[in-house]
């Protein structure tokens, strides 16, 4: 089972995980939520935009790559766009497999890759009225690249894990 969507609406994580249980021995998930503080400033909201069309293709490709690398029985990626306030969900990545290692590793892989390989952009609106586009972080690129390096040894990376 594969489910990939980009949407403004919130998701029901419980229902999404339940939908992955068929044929699985374990389900792993990551949920990204909007922080309340960034760099000591109070955040009022996060605005997320994306490149319609390309985003979905990029996410499908990541799911394809994960399915080649791990024996998964299911994979769900839901990424929200629009204006989100602190505490609200941003992204859900969940994978299911017969055994926990594949699901845990595939989930970490997908969120690491998503951060550098899918065309989303975030802008922060602060409580003081200022706003700023989020800059890409080298640590995210390193975390994504570590999977490529780890691939040769068939091991998960030991750096940059979320």
40 Rama class: left (phi>0) / alpha (psi -120 to 50) / beta: left
Residue of 15, 68, 135, 152 that binds other proteins (CB under 8 A):
135
- Our finding on whether 126 is near other proteins (CB under 8 A) is no
Q: Are 60 and 4 in contact (CB under 8 A)?
A: yes
Size of the site for other proteins (CB under 8 A): 27
- Our finding on whether 75 is near other proteins (CB under 8 A) is no
Residue of 70, 109, 120, 147 that binds other proteins (CB under 8 A):
120
Sequence-separated (6 or more) residues with CB below 8 Å from residue 38: 124, 126
Closest contact distance (angstroms) between CB of 44 and other proteins is 18
Give which of 67, 69, 118 is closest to 90, Cα–Cα: 118
- Our finding on whether 108 is near other proteins (CB under 8 A) is no
Residue of 27, 48, 96, 102 that binds other proteins (CB under 8 A):
48
């Amino acid at each position: 089972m594969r489910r990939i969507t980009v949407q403004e609406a919130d998701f029901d994580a419980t229902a999404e995980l339940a939908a992955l249980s068929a044929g699985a021995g374990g389900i792993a998930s990551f949920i990204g939520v909007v922080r309340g503080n960034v760099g000591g400033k109070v955040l009022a909201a996060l605005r997320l935009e994306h490149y319609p069309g390309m985003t979905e293709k990029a996410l499908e490709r990541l799911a394809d790559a994960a399915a080649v690398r791990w024996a998964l029985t299911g994979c769900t990626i839901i990424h929200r766009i629009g204006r989100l306030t602190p505490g609200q969900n941003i992204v859900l990545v969940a994978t299911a497999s017969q055994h926990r290692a594949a699901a845990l590793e595939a989930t970490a892989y997908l969120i690491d890759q998503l951060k550098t390989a899918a065309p989303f952009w975030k802008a922060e609106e602060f409580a003081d009225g200022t706003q700023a586009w989020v800059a890409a972080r080298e640590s995210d690129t390193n975390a994504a690249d570590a999977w490529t390096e780890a691939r040769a040894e068939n091991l998960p990376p030991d750096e940059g894990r979320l």
